Amino acid sequence: MAPMLQSSQPWVEKYRPKQVKDVAHQDEVVKVLSNTLETTNCPHMLFYGPPGTGKTTTALAIAHQLYGPELYKSRVLELNASDDRGINVVRTKIKDFAAVAVGSGHRQGGYPCPPYKIIILDEADSMTEDAQNALRRTMETYSKVTRFFFICNYISRIIEPLASRCAKFRFKPLSEEIMSSRILHICNEEGLNLDSEALSTLSSISQGDLRRAITYLQGAARLFGSNISSKDLISVSGVIPQEVVQALFAACKSGDFDLANKEVNNVIAEGYPVSQMLSQLFDVVVEADDISDEQKARICKRLGETDKCLVDGADEYLQLLEVASNTMRALCNMPQEFSFES
Amino acid sequence: MLWVDKHRPKTLDQIIVHEEVAQNLKKLVTEQDCPHLLFYGPTGSGKKTLIMALLRQMFGPGAEKVKVENKTWKVDAGSRTIDLDLTTLSSTHHVELNPSDAGFQDRYIVQEIIKEMAKNRPIDTKGKKGYKVLVLNEVDKLSREAQHSLRRTMEKYSASCRLILCCNSSSKVTEAIRSRCLNVRIHAPTEEQIVKVLEFIGNKEGVQLPSGLAARIAEKSNRSLRRAILSFETCRVQQYPFTSNQAIPPMDWEEYVSEIASDIMKEQSPKRLFQVRGKLYELLINCIPPEIILKRLLFELLKKLDAELKHEVCHWAAYYEHRMRLGQKSIFHMEAFVAKFMSIYKAFLIATFG
Ligand SMILES: Nc1ncnc2c1ncn2[C@@H]1O[C@H](COP(=O)(O)OP(=O)(O)O)[C@@H](O)[C@H]1O
Ligand SMILES: Nc1ncnc2c1ncn2[C@@H]1O[C@H](COP(=O)(O)OP(=O)(O)O)[C@@H](O)[C@H]1O
Ligand SMILES: [Mg+2]
Ligand SMILES: [Mg+2]
């Protein structure tokens, strides 16, 4: 692919660090990899942690820094969930790539060019266990001439025999300070104004996920111009206005089923994501000081069950109505058991 | 041509109900670095209309010159080759498709076809934009696997390709995808906004629309613009000149569901259950989605029930709809709901009237 004009890329890509040393907040891995750049020694690696914390960035950066643009294609294989990584592909594609010998380990064009290839398996937690097992052999057979980088959100989804062969690094959610400093850097480059309230809103709604923060920032900048307020950011983030959540909660408190049903219908018609509603309702319930712990427990139990149902693909309206009905019954001390069930 | 299509606004400036969103979208595409977009909101709220107008804003009238293609893709799935039939709608600047049509094989659509499309730069050099657009409909119906497969494609080829995703429930779109897009919520229009659109169409068609009738159509539309425009046209066919209080014909299937509700309130017996099964089949054969039938049935029942029963019945509706998602044959679960309702209702009648 021909290199594109920088400016046509979304900001998330535009501001992706190109060098390992520019990856923020993940000091441990940065230290190890900086060392790699000097000695060219590199173990197999496993990066895990929540989204938007720099895992993919780090793997791509070290690969580029080791080989440079010329050799990158022949030395680095990046496979992610957008590739078929069924067991056959693992057996053939990775093997074919690993089997072709690399030249000697001489520096070329200012890049270290160590005498091994790198195979990056991004989003490795979506690989089946069978495919992972097939990988064990390949890893052993070609251990001299390849280094594997596994990247995933959940380390528990990587089978033990693979994980135990790697140096593991946990990528931490970015702290508010680091987030703020990256965001301010982008604001500077793009000529944006963000007051301190907006800055702290952005850090808190993104919950340590810098990708989200950058996406929101760009959205707000494009929609509302270069002076961005806290409200602008909330409106692009999909957070539901507190009045809407309160209205639903109040309807549940009223004990009037039809009123609650009306509010539920409204939430759906307004297009608010029910999963988001659940988490905001959760906050309201937990913080309320006029309801008992038992009531809270009853409501939260249902919230948990509903979350699972939504993940299974259940209908949003029916699920939210069920939550509203349960919340109402808990708040109004109606019995937990139904009367007419046989 | 039906009025819903004939009077669909073509440009962002002509948009009536989501004016603010439309103006925002206009600003968004003035720069080259537009992010991926995710449009979400209820059906008939105007998502498709906005997306089409946005494409026109990006690429000019050329975006409207679309051709429909049916193609069979041969996809290499490791040990075997599978054939995937896919319908696409494309101009020189964009391709629109519905990847969830491939059912459980949707992952291959994302891994092979979408990735292929995303990789290739647009051929058109005169075009204003250095990228092309892929419009993916109903992304909420994509399997988890397929959604995961989309993640890295969205990053890797973002220089040559922008995605516009469209869905009803954004809860069903994974966090990973949502966080890679600018999320655009399209709320269902209010009744007043619907009246405005109806009046606009009435004007264009040169028909006299009494405001009482417009308001009633809007009220019955359940805040769906598409539905309101369709009823408006049906009213026009059934009786013109209009009167304020003329009947607004309900949808056939809704009447049918309302009959089912009456049936099961009147009699609770195996015989009745059997009859109702026939009616449910009839609805399914006519391609009414099972969850829509179930929700409508609940709606009809709630209108007639005592408050204490409402909680119980809504619980079982949610329960069986969830089971329906996990299972394969939706009729089983719909029937189970009906049977459950009969049993509860009978117990209630006995407790109340002896
Ligand atoms: N630790 C970090 N330092 C600097 N930028 C980061 C960091 N983490 C994430 N980002 C920013 O967020 C975007 C997504 O990061 P990425 O490495 O793809 O996340 P993931 O951990 O999900 O693979 C990058 O383009 C970059 O702009
Ligand atoms: N902003 C609008 N102004 C006027 N009419 C609209 C507008 N948006 C939608 N419509 C009408 O409503 C109908 C349904 O809208 P559509 O965009 O297909 O909804 P969705 O994609 O959300 O299901 C369209 O055919 C069009 O006639
Ligand atoms: Mg990643
Ligand atoms: Mg639509």
pLDDT band at B92; cut points 50, 70, 90: confident
Atom number in ligand 1 closest to CA A15: 27
Which residue among A81, A271, A316 sits closest to B187, beta carbon to beta carbon? A271
| A332 has pLDDT over 90 | yes
Q: Is the pLDDT of residue B86 over 60?
A: yes
Lowest mean pLDDT among A323-327, B123-127, B303-307: B123-127
Q: Domain coordinates of chain A in residue numbers? A: 2-170, 176-237, 242-331
Nearest CA in chain B to A127: B145
At B37-62, the pLDDT tens digits run 999 999 999 999 999 999 999 999 98
Which residue ranges have their beta carbon within 6 Å of ligand 2? B 4-5, 7-9, 15-18, 43-49, 197, 225-226, 229
The more confident residue out of B270 and A88 is B270
Q: In this predicted structure, what is the pLDDT of residue B248?
A: 93
Average pLDDT of the residues in A274-292: 95
Amino acid A201: pLDDT: 92
- What's the pLDDT at A20? 96
Structure tokens, A151: 């990247």
Q: Chain A neighbours among B 255-284 (CB < 8 Å)?
A: none
Q: Which of A5-9, A34-38, A137-141, B327-331 has the lowest mean pLDDT?
A: A5-9
**Omega before residue B290 within 30° of 0, cis:** no
- Please answer whether residues A227 and A193 qualify as being in contact, where contact means their C-beta atoms are separated by less than 8 angstroms: yes
Q: Say yes or no for a CB contact (<8 Å) between A1 and B121.
A: yes
Give the helix ranges, DSSP H, for chain A: 11-14, 27-39, 55-75, 87-89, 95-99, 129-141, 160-163, 176-190, 196-206, 210-224, 230-237, 242-254, 257-269, 274-287, 293-311, 316-331
For residue A164, count other CB atoms closer than 10 A to its CB: 10
Percent of chain B with pLDDT over 90: 71
Whole-number Å distance, alpha carbon A12 to ligand 1 midpoint, is: 8
Is residue A88 predicted with pLDDT exceeding 90?
no
ipTM of the complex: 0.92
pLDDT over 60 (residue B126) = no
pLDDT at A4: 40
Query: CB-based burial of residue B275 (10 Å sphere; 0-12 exposed, 13-18 middle, 19+ buried)?
Result: middle
- Find the B300 Cα to ligand 3 centroid distance in Å: 47
pLDDT for B117 equals 84
Q: Provide the pLDDT for residue B124.
A: 53
DSSP class of residue A9?
A: S
Q: Decide if domain A176-237 falls under CATH 1.10.8.60.
A: yes
Orientation of helix A210-224 relative to helix A230-237, angle to 10°? 110
Q: What is the pLDDT of residues A13-68, one digit of tens each?
A: 999 999 999 999 999 999 999 999 999 899 999 999 999 999 999 999 999 999 99
User: In this predicted structure, what is the pLDDT of residue B230?
Assistant: 95
- Ramachandran class of A113: left when φ > 0, alpha when ψ lies in -120 to 50, beta otherwise: left
pLDDT band at B101 (very low <50, low <70, confident <90, very high): confident
A133 contacts: CB under 8 Å, gap ≥ 6: A159, A161
What single-letter amino acid sits at A283? D
Chain B positions in Cβ-Cβ contact with residue A52 (cut-off 8 Å): 179
Residue B98 Cα, ligand 4 centroid: separation in angstroms?
11
Give pLDDT, residue B316.
Answer: 97
Cβ contact, residue pair B35, A11, below 8 Å: yes
Q: What is the pLDDT of residue A1?
A: 33
Q: Do the domains spanning A2-170 and A242-331 agree at the CATH topology level? A: no
Written as six digits, the tokens of B244 are 């304020």
Mean pLDDT for A140-147 is: 90
Assess whether pLDDT exceeds 70 at residue A148: yes
Report the pLDDT value the prediction gives residue A3, as an integer from 0 to 100. 37
Q: Would you say A135 and A143 are in contact if contact means Cβ atoms under 8 Å apart?
A: no
Return the percentage of chain A with pLDDT > 70, whole number.
97
pLDDT, position B307: 86
Pairwise CA distance, residues B201 & B209, whole Å? 10
B contacts of A83 (beta carbons < 8 Å): 111
Asked if residue A104 has pLDDT above 60, the reply is: yes
In angstroms, the CA A124 to CA A127 distance is 5
Burial class (CB in 10 A: 0-12, 13-18, 19+), A95: middle
* Rounded Cα–Cα distance for residues A184 and A194 (Å): 8
Tell me whether B35 touches chain A (CB under 8 Å): yes
Q: Are A157 and A128 within 8 A, CB to CB?
A: no
Q: Which two tokens stand for residue A300?
A: 């939260």
Work out the average pLDDT over A75-104. Answer: 83
> For residue A55, how far is its CA from the centre of ligand 3 (angstroms)?
6
CB–CB contact A238 B183 (8 Å):
yes
Over 90: is that where the pLDDT of A106 sits?
no
pLDDT in tens, B207-263: 999 999 999 999 999 999 999 999 999 999 999 999 999 999 888 999 999 999 999
Range from A6-10, A140-144, A160-164, A288-292 carrying the lowest mean pLDDT: A6-10
3-state secondary structure of A44: coil
Q: What is the pLDDT of residue B132?
A: 87
Of A11, A82, A313, the CB nearest to B152: A82
pLDDT band at B190 (very low <50, low <70, confident <90, very high): very high
- The overall average pLDDT reported for chain B is 92
Q: What is the CATH number of domain A242-331?
A: 1.20.272.10
| B110 within 8 A of A82, measured Cβ to Cβ | yes
Question: Counting atoms of ligand 1 from 1, which one is nearest the CA of A211?
Answer: 12
Residues A320 and B295 sit within 8 Å (Cβ to Cβ): no
The mean predicted confidence, pLDDT, of chain A is 91
Given CATH 3.40.50.300, say whether it is the number of domain A2-170: yes
Q: Token pair for residue A310?
A: 């939504």
- The DSSP line for B116-182 is HHHHSPPS-SSSS-SSEEEEE--GGGS-HHHHHHHHHHHHHTTTTEEEEEEES-GGGS-HHHHTTSE
Q: If residue B320 lies in a helix (H) or strand (E), which one and from where to where?
A: helix B307-326
Q: What is the pLDDT of residues A168-198, one digit of tens each?
A: 999 999 999 999 999 999 999 999 999 999 9
Q: Residue A154: what residue type?
A: Y
Q: Print burial letters for B67-104: b (CB count within 10 Å at least 16), e (below 16).
A: eeeeeeeebebeeeeeebebebebbebbbbbbbbbbee
Least confident stretch, A124-133, A146-155, B221-230, B239-248 = A124-133
The vertex-A148 CA angle with A146 and A149, nearest 5°, equals: 145
CB-based contact (8 Å) between A317 and chain B?
yes
User: Touching check for B123 and chain A: CB below 8 Å?
Assistant: no
Q: Assess A130–B contact: CB distance below 8 Å, yes or no.
A: no
